[in-house]
Homo-oligomer: A and B are copies of this chain.
Amino acid sequence: DLGLLRTKAVPNGDGTYRISGQKIFISAGEHDMSDNIVHLVLARVEGAPEGVKGISLFIVPKFKVDAAGNPGERNTLSCGSLEEKMGIHGNSTCVMNYDEAEGTLLGELNGGLKAMFTMMNEARLGVGLQGLSVSEIAYQNAVSYAKDRLQGRSLSGAKAPDKKADPIIVHPDIRRSLMTMKAYNEAGRALALWTAIKSDVAHRSGDDKDRQAADDYTGLMTPVVKGVLTDKGFDHAVMAQQVFGGHGYIEEHGMSQFVRDARIAMIYEGANGIQALDLVGRKLAQNSGRAVQAFFKEVGEFCEENRTDEKMASFTKALKKGLSDLQAATMWLVQNAMAKPDNAGAASTDYMHLFGLVALGYMWAQMAKSAQAKLAEGANGAAPFYDTKLITARFFMERIMPETATRLARISSGADTLMALPAEAF
């Protein structure tokens, strides 16, 4: 809770400050892999307002920088201890102590929270990508193992009769896992790139309206990219590990490391519960819902434009059902969360995942359309690639999208059963 932050900054009178306090969970807080370490530290200048409005951001280097710009005298900050963690062992996670360390104000006085969010918003997209990346590498390992490992026979008759058993990729339940990962990963990659393009437009377009629309989209999708891709990244690391059976549980194959490393992405840069609250509590309502309405309009128009295209019908129908569930959930929030904010909190995580399903489903519908256009043109020798896209899209629509109904049912059950018990009844 940043409002409770106690680290102090006292002006030296020469434009610098003396920073004192302790920070925990500082990634790469101390190491000897670079000549200097530049810490960005939030602190409260004496007399600043209480809460988050009195927080300022400071640059606090490990070595003070001399006139020539080189690392010089040691600053009075030190690593108090290293955390023993579940994973990301390549990261020295430090307790950092600042003992009147010299720091320089970055940005405006008492504007620290806003300055930090510039970093945070980018970091959230980056962590979403981390979730996607571990999902992809875990998937690739699972595919490789499933093609190699012999166990049992295909239910529809031996597929490798020359061997004593079939490779496990013949088993439908193994394929269920592989297809789930594949379908999420390819749509997740599309969503990440789509969001990155919007972010570029938001920063660089010369057109005010385009810039605003892209900025709306990026803000709306940031918690979805972070929350959904990291939750799924972990799920898929576990799913890929399961393909290895007992061999996934020993460290030798590296699958355990993917699971242990993927776990942090659900926690840092704002735990996923916070992402869900950011989406439901802030992003939905901003500018009277301008961002979310634009997204609904875009997806709805895509469905409408392709409604009469027979080859697209199964994709647009499933996407439209998902969109309709998402719109119903949004309407439910509009009607029930203003008077009783706990209804928003109770809905938040399911809403974030419902949003993710529709966003990823929209990516698949677009990829299906593109694949069909390419196939109609002759595909230039890449027909198997586009056929695979269409099958994976169908899998996503048939097997993954139905989850939107469960999410909507949970959301519209409201906060009552969550909030009814007194704390001592747990």
Residues of B within 8 A of A273 (CB): 171, 173-174, 242
Interface flags for A169-190 (1: CB within 8 Å of B; 0: not) read 1011111101100100000000
**Contact A398 B384, beta carbon cutoff 8 Å:** no
Closest to A256 in B: B86
Assembled-state Cα–Cα distance A339/B217 (Å) = 48
Determine if A264 is an interface residue (Cβ-Cβ < 8 Å): yes
Residues of B within 8 A of A406 (CB): 402-403, 405-406
Closest to A280 in B: B173
Determine if A344 is an interface residue (Cβ-Cβ < 8 Å): yes
Assembled-state Cα–Cα distance A241/B179 (Å) = 28
Determine if A345 is an interface residue (Cβ-Cβ < 8 Å): yes
A201: shortest Cβ distance to chain B, in Å? Answer: 32
**Contact A399 B417, beta carbon cutoff 8 Å:** yes
Determine if A297 is an interface residue (Cβ-Cβ < 8 Å): no
Q: Which of A9-17, A117-125, A147-155, A370-378 contacts B (4 or more CB under 8 A)?
A: A147-155
**Contact B249 A264, beta carbon cutoff 8 Å:** yes
Assembled-state Cα–Cα distance A345/B166 (Å) = 15
Q: Which of B24, B173, B421 contacts A348 (CB 8 A)?
A: B173
Q: Which of A1-59 contact B (CB under 8 A)?
A: 1, 3-4, 24-25
Residues of B within 8 A of A260 (CB): 86, 260
Beyond known contacts A84-B250, A242-B266, A245-B267: 6 more, CB 8 A cutoff: A86-B250, A143-B426, A172-B343, A173-B346, A391-B421, A402-B406
Residue ranges of A at the interface with B (Cβ–Cβ < 8 Å): 1, 3-4, 24-25, 83-87, 93, 143, 146-147, 150-152, 154-156, 164-165, 167, 169, 171-176, 178-179, 182, 234, 238, 241-242, 245-246, 248-252, 256, 259-260, 263-264, 266-268, 271-273, 276-277, 340-346, 348-349, 384, 388, 391-392, 394-395, 398-399, 402-403, 405-406, 409-410, 413, 415, 417-421, 423, 425-426
